[in-house]
Amino acid sequence: MRGRAGFLMTPTWLLYGTGGVAWQNLQGTTNCSAATCGTAMSQQNTTTRTGWTVGGGIEAMVWGNWLARAEYRYADFGTWRSTYFTGLAAAVIDAKLRTNTVSVGLAYKF
The answer to whether residue 102 scores a pLDDT higher than 90 is yes
For residue 34, what pLDDT is reported?
83
Q: How far is CA 77 from the centre of its chain?
A: 8
CB contact at 8 A, 79 and 92: no
CB contact at 8 A, 16 and 5: yes
Cβ neighbors of 38 (< 8 A, separation 6 or more) are 88, 89
Domain extent, residue 96, equals 2-108
Average pLDDT over residues 14-41: 89
Q: How far apart are CA 16 and CA 22, in angstroms?
A: 18
Number of domain units in the chain? 1
The answer to whether residue 8 scores a pLDDT higher than 80 is yes
pLDDT single digits (tens) 62-82: 998 999 999 999 999 999 998
DSSP element (H, E) containing 100: strand 91-108
- Predicted model pTM: 0.77
